[in-house]
A and B are shown apart, each in its own frame.
Chain A
Amino acid sequence: DIVMTQSPDSLAMSLGERATINCKSSQSVFHSSNNKNYFAWYQQKPGQSPKLLIHWASTRESGVPDRFSGSGSGTDFTLTISSLQAEDVAIYYCQQYYGTPFTFGPGTKVDIK
């Protein structure tokens, strides 16, 4: 199984600050056949269902604010929130869909300081 790890476990930033979440997979999730990383980021706000933010490691979903960006390749990935807003308080999960079982990271809790 591909194990996903995230860091930090939690973070608290002031409004408007830049927040960075890292995710590492235990093996590469890059498919050379199509040059794609089979990797996604999800946001889960308190009491809500998860929401897809980014897939293919860096493709932002329609309607997702452009302050959210994804980067990385292979085994190391980053989600950046360029200017943290109050509505961004949530748990953020990374996920690989390169191979079954499709695994999620343990989540990173983001709060406002």
Chain B
Amino acid sequence: EVEVVESGGGLVQPGGSLRLSCAASAFTFSIYAMSWVRQAPGKGLEWVSSICGSDGSTYYSDSVKGRFTISRDNSKNTLYLQMNNLRAEDTALYYCAKNVRESCYSAFDYWGQGTLVTVSS
């Protein structure tokens, strides 16, 4: 069964860094686009970033552009999100999601349970 499992969340001070990981299994990871979506406590869903499966193109929301970097290691079936210069408003549950197809312009069909990032002094 398709599974994506996030890790790496935690408590970090403003200005700090974290790297999230997402381990994928039971599908051909390299083919599919992958994405990060976050949800602040008690709030709705916010798309953060996507990396395409075809050419590895990357896309970011304006709120994280220049601070976050999405990457993938197809040999390890793992997706990453390097988060630098974290702000209080980055506090959220971060979901890893598999896209329906290789194009980033597709829906998210499998989601992990999320990893919580808390930015606070």
Digit string of A40-70 for contact with B (CB within 8 Å is 1, else 0)?
1010100001111001100001000000000
Decide: A97 near B44, CB < 8 A? Known: A49-B95, A50-B95, A50-B111. Answer: no
Cα A108 to Cα B44 in complex, Å, equals 10
A interface, size bucket: 20 to 34
**A55 with B44: CB separation less than 8 A:** no
Taking CB atoms and an 8 Å cut-off, the chain B residues in 56-115 that contact chain A are 59, 61-62, 95, 100, 104-114
**B95 with A101: CB separation less than 8 A:** no
Taking CB atoms and an 8 Å cut-off, the chain A residues in 72-113 that contact chain B are 93, 95, 97-98, 100-107
A38 CB within 8 Å of chain B: yes
**A104 with B111: CB separation less than 8 A:** no
**B105 with A104: CB separation less than 8 A:** no
B interface, size bucket: 20 to 34
**A100 with B59: CB separation less than 8 A:** yes
- How distant is A68 from chain B, measured CB to nearest CB, in Å? 14
**B109 with A42: CB separation less than 8 A:** no
**B105 with A97: CB separation less than 8 A:** yes
Among B62, B104, B109, the residue within 8 A (CB) of A52 is: B109
| Residues on the B chain within 8 Å of A61, using CB | 109
Cα A58 to Cα B118 in complex, Å, equals 37
**B109 with A97: CB separation less than 8 A:** no
Among A42, A55, A98, the residue within 8 A (CB) of B45 is: A42
Cα A98 to Cα B61 in complex, Å, equals 14
| 11 additional A-B residue pairs with CB within 8 Å, beyond A40-B107, A42-B45, A52-B100 | A44-B45, A49-B95, A52-B107, A52-B110, A55-B109, A93-B45, A97-B107, A101-B62, A102-B50, A107-B44, A107-B45
Cross-chain pairs A/B with CB under 8 angstroms, 18 sampled: A38-B105, A40-B107, A40-B108, A44-B45, A49-B114, A50-B95, A51-B111, A55-B100, A55-B109, A56-B107, A95-B45, A95-B107, A97-B104, A97-B105, A100-B59, A102-B35, A104-B46, A105-B44
Residues of B within 8 A of A (CB): 35, 37, 44-47, 50, 59, 61-62, 95, 100, 104-114
